[in-house]
Amino acid sequence: MRAKSALIAVLFIAAPGIAQTPAGHASSGGQATETVLRGENRLALGAHVRWITQDKHGNMWFATDGEGLCRYDGRTFTYFTEKEGLPSNFVRTVQEDAKGDLWITSRDGLCRFDGKTFARIEASKAEKRDSLPPSGSLLFPSENGVLVYDGTAVTFLGLPLDEAEVARRREDPNWNARGLNAYAVYSVHRGRDGAIWFGTETRGVYRYDGKSFTRYVEKELDAAAVRAVFQDSRGDVWMGNSGVGLFRYDGKELRNYGDDNGIGNRTWLQGGLIRMPGTIGDPHAIVEDRAGNLWIAAFDSGVWRINADGRRNFTFKDGLNDEAVSAIYEDRDGKLWFGTRKGVCTFDGKKFAVVGDVPKPENR
C-alpha cells in the first residue's frame, strides 16, 4: 500500500524462537551467519486469511486474523506472532520491498520485518506529503489516509477533512475513543495513470491525482466500508462495498454492478448479513489475472469471475473450503490463491485445492 518519508522510530524486540547462532558470529562450519527468527512450524493453516503475497524466494505469506503472520514454503507453515515481536496477531496486509524486507500492517500499526526482527514504525511521526508517491512505493491503509514507503522513508498522504469533521475533532480531543472514524482507509490502489484511490469507512471513495481529490458517493457507496478498489486493464475502476456490493466506474458514470445484474444483496444495511446464493453484497478483494479475468473475493458468497463470456460464482461445490473469502493473489506461475475464513485454496484454471493438511470443507 502507500508509504511516506522521514522520522521513523524503530523498536527492536528481543523475542524467543531466535536461532542460537548470534548475528555475525561464525557457525560450526566456519561461515558467518545472521540471527534469523524461526517462528513456529505447523502442517496446517486454518485461520482467517486476509492478505496474500509471494516473496522473491517464492515463499507465500499470509496475513491472518488472530494467528499472526504465516510463511508457507510449499511444505510447512511457519507462524510469527506477538511472541516473536509482531505488534499484533491480527494482521491486515503484508508487502515486500525492493530489499526483500516485509512491511506488515496490523491492528496495532505498521512494522517492518527483515527476517531477524520486527521493527515498529511510529506512523504519527511520519512527515506529511502533498504529492503523488513515486512509482514502486508501497502503500498502506491507515487512519485518515495512507502511509507511503518510497524505499527511503515513510510519509503520510492524508484525506481532506470537511469543515464539520475538523470542528468535531477540535471540540472533542477524544473523538476517536469510540472507534468512530468515517475517514479511516480500508483499501488503497494506484491506478494505471498513477492516481491513488482510497476506499474509506463511510466517506465513499476518493481519487487523488497529485493536485486535487475527487470523491465518489453515488448509489450508496458511502453507506458502508469500501474494502477493495481496483482498476482493470480496460481502465474501469471496480469498488467493493462491504454491505452495498460491487461497483464499477467507467470514467463517466458510477454504477452498482450487483443491482444492474440482479445479484445485489443489501441485507448488511438492514442490520445483519443474510447470505443468499447467487448474490454478492460483501466484496473484500478484486484482482485481474494475466488472462484478463476479473476475480472478486466475497465474504458472503465465495469467489466470482467476470470476463467476456459472462460471470461465474464459485462456492463449496467447486472445492472452496469456505465461502467467506477475503483475499486473492496470482503468483509468478499464474496460479491463483484465495484466502478464506478457514485457510487458503488455490485455483489452477480448472479446479480448487485446499492448501495444507486441513479437513475437507463441509457444506453448511
Q: What is the pLDDT of residue 4?
A: 35
The more confident residue out of 123 and 7 is 123
Q: What is the pLDDT of residue 35?
A: 66
* Lowest mean pLDDT across 183-187, 209-213, 271-275: 271-275
Q: Which residue has the cell 465461502?
A: 323
254 has pLDDT over 50: yes
The predicted-structure confidence for 281-339, as pLDDT tens digits, reads as follows 999 999 999 999 999 999 999 999 999 999 999 999 999 999 999 999 999 999 999 99
Q: What is the pLDDT of residue 76?
A: 94
Contact between residue 112 and residue 103 where contact means Cβ atoms under 8 Å apart: yes
Q: How far apart are CA 334 and CA 138, in angstroms?
A: 22
Q: What is the mean pLDDT of residues 4-12?
A: 31
31 has pLDDT over 90: no
Percent of the chain with pLDDT over 90: 74
Strand ranges for 4-96 from DSSP E: 40-42, 49-54, 60-64, 69-72, 77-80, 91-96
Strand order in the sheet with 138-142: 127-128, 154-158, 145-149, 138-142
Q: What is the pLDDT of residue 25?
A: 31
Q: How far apart are CA 77 and CA 171, in angstroms?
A: 49
When the pLDDT of each residue in the chain is averaged and rounded to a whole number, the result is 88
Tell me the domains of the chain and their CATH numbers: 127-354 (2.130.10.10)
The more confident residue out of 127 and 172 is 127
43: confidence class by pLDDT, cuts 50, 70, 90: confident
The 3-class secondary structure across 77-135, one letter per residue, is EEEECHHHCCCCCEEEEEEECCCCCEEEEECCEEEEECCCCEEECCHHHCEECCCCCCC
364: confidence class by pLDDT, cuts 50, 70, 90: very low
The more confident residue out of 211 and 277 is 211
The predicted-structure confidence for 134-145, as pLDDT tens digits, reads as follows 999 999 999 899
- DSSP classification of residue 268: G
Contact between residue 146 and residue 1 where contact means Cβ atoms under 8 Å apart: yes
Q: What is the pLDDT of residue 9?
A: 31
Q: What is the pLDDT of residue 13?
A: 29
